[in-house]
Amino acid sequence: MNTRTVIALIAAVTLVATVAHLQLSAQETQNTESDAFAALVKAKTLKCYLGKGSSANWDAGEVEINMVKEFSEKQEDCIMIFDSINLENGKARLIGNRGSSDVMAFATVGGVTFIEKAEGGSVFFATVFPTYKKGSNELLFVYSRHFAGFISGPMPSQYYGTCRILMN
């Protein structure tokens, strides 16, 4: 074999190995996401932790957005538990720092979403995504609050965090 043939052979083997590695990496990513989705839709209890987020108000007549605000300084206020999750009948129970309530629950390809309608007319949305936080078994989570403030006007907020499956 001449030098050109050896180089071409090495290049071909390298190309095949690279393509095989990329296919395996893509399959592992897809399996991780499909595994996360399967685990999420089977979950009966989720414990979620709220972190940073943002809020807005119209007190001065113009929208004012407050960024990178912690949900609460107290750790116990940053925990939400969704239990008795039953996606077939669309219900779950939310336990938070101010008590508990029944919420709507449904799954889409984007994850599991919970909706709470408060007595005062405010609406709260929580979505748990079938995506793991890098290097963990925690699922990504977003919590949006749409307060209907009658005195001060609307006060929306959105916070980000993670959830752990406690019971399947």
Q: Does residue 19 register a pLDDT over 60? A: no
Is 141 or 64 the better-scoring residue by pLDDT? Answer: 141
Min mean pLDDT across 28-37, 92-101, 115-124 is at 28-37
Question: Which residue, chain included where needed, has tokens 């916070």?
Answer: 159
What was the pLDDT predicted at 167?
79
What was the pLDDT predicted at 31?
46
Min mean pLDDT across 34-43, 74-83, 110-119, 124-133 is at 74-83
Helix (H, G, I), strand (E, B) or coil at 7: helix
Domain ranges of the chain: 37-167
Q: Does domain 37-167 bear CATH number 1.20.58?
A: no
What was the pLDDT predicted at 44?
97
How far apart CA 60 and CA 41 sit, in angstroms, is 43
What was the pLDDT predicted at 22?
38
Give the number of other Cβ atoms within 10 Å of residue 57's Cβ: 18
Encode pLDDT of 35-87 as tens digits. 999 999 999 999 999 988 888 887 777 888 887 676 666 666 688 999 999 99
What was the pLDDT predicted at 86?
97
Q: Does residue 135 register a pLDDT over 50? A: yes
Q: Give the pLDDT band (50/70/90) at residue 96.
A: confident
What was the pLDDT predicted at 94?
95
Whether the model clears a pTM of 0.85, i.e. scores above it, the answer is no
Torsion of CA 94, 98, 101, 103, to 10 degrees: -50
Distance of CA 144 to the CA centre of its chain: 12
Average pLDDT, the chain: 79
